[in-house]
A and B are shown apart, each in its own frame.
Chain A
Amino acid sequence: RKEVEQDPGPFNVPEGATVAFNCTYSNSASQSFFWYRQDCRKEPKLLMSVYSSGNEDGRFTAQLNRASQYISLLIRDSKLSDSATYLCVVNLPSNDYKLSFGAGTTVTVRA
């Protein structure tokens, strides 16, 4: 079983729509969770960390469900510039430098 699994999509949504997707992780000891964004196979860039209580950054909301071992990302009021691949990332406290990446969920926002 992969450490981090994501629905590859693509999610094709119109501008202004809300889009949400999840990722699941296999190791219950995982402690840190992140969403990264990757454009056209360029370098990944940190979008936001995911906290236990859930957190929001502008139009982006991240949730963590430890019991079911999944993380979600919701994007409200989608913009064309949100088109990208969103990478779910987790790591373990024993090796907090070793990031485990999902293969990514592709989102395409159309005009």
Chain B
Amino acid sequence: NAGVMQNPRHLVRRRGQEARLRCSPMKGHSHVYWYRQLPEEGLKFMVYLQKENIIDESGMPKERFSAEFPKEGPSILRIQQVVRGDSAAYFCASSPASGDREQYFGPGTRLTVT
């Protein structure tokens, strides 16, 4: 059973470009969570999605950031017009639809904005 998959693992963007980060949850999981880890800081919750629904986006910056989890395909975290402060590791986690709420984390995408 493959774990949570994220790609790309490393992404370099120049200021003003767009970044798209992908997350495929574990097989059988329909809940997806995105977290951001800035250097020397703990992971910060960004958004919680279920298929085709955003459940809680209270941790998302109000501008430039969006997330989706379509019926088919991976969850996407999109950052428009990136700035240097967006440089961070972005982790995706998934959990099953019911029962065990333990979150299984993917390997992360390291975004570097130059």
Contact = CB atoms under 8 A, between A and B. Distances in A.
Q: Do A and B share a complex? A: yes
A99 B48 contact: no
Interface string B99-110: 001110111100
Contacts, number: 50
A100 B45 CA distance: 7
B89 A41 contact: yes
B42 A103 contact: yes
Interface residues of A, number: 18
B43 A99 contact: yes
B88 to A, nearest CB: 11
Contacts of A103: 40-42
Nearest to A96: B101
Interface in A32-52: 41-46
B69 interface: no
Given A97-B48, A101-B42, A101-B44, A43 B33 contact: no
Interface of B: 4, 31, 33, 35, 37, 40-45, 48, 55-56, 58-59, 89, 91, 95, 101-103, 105-108
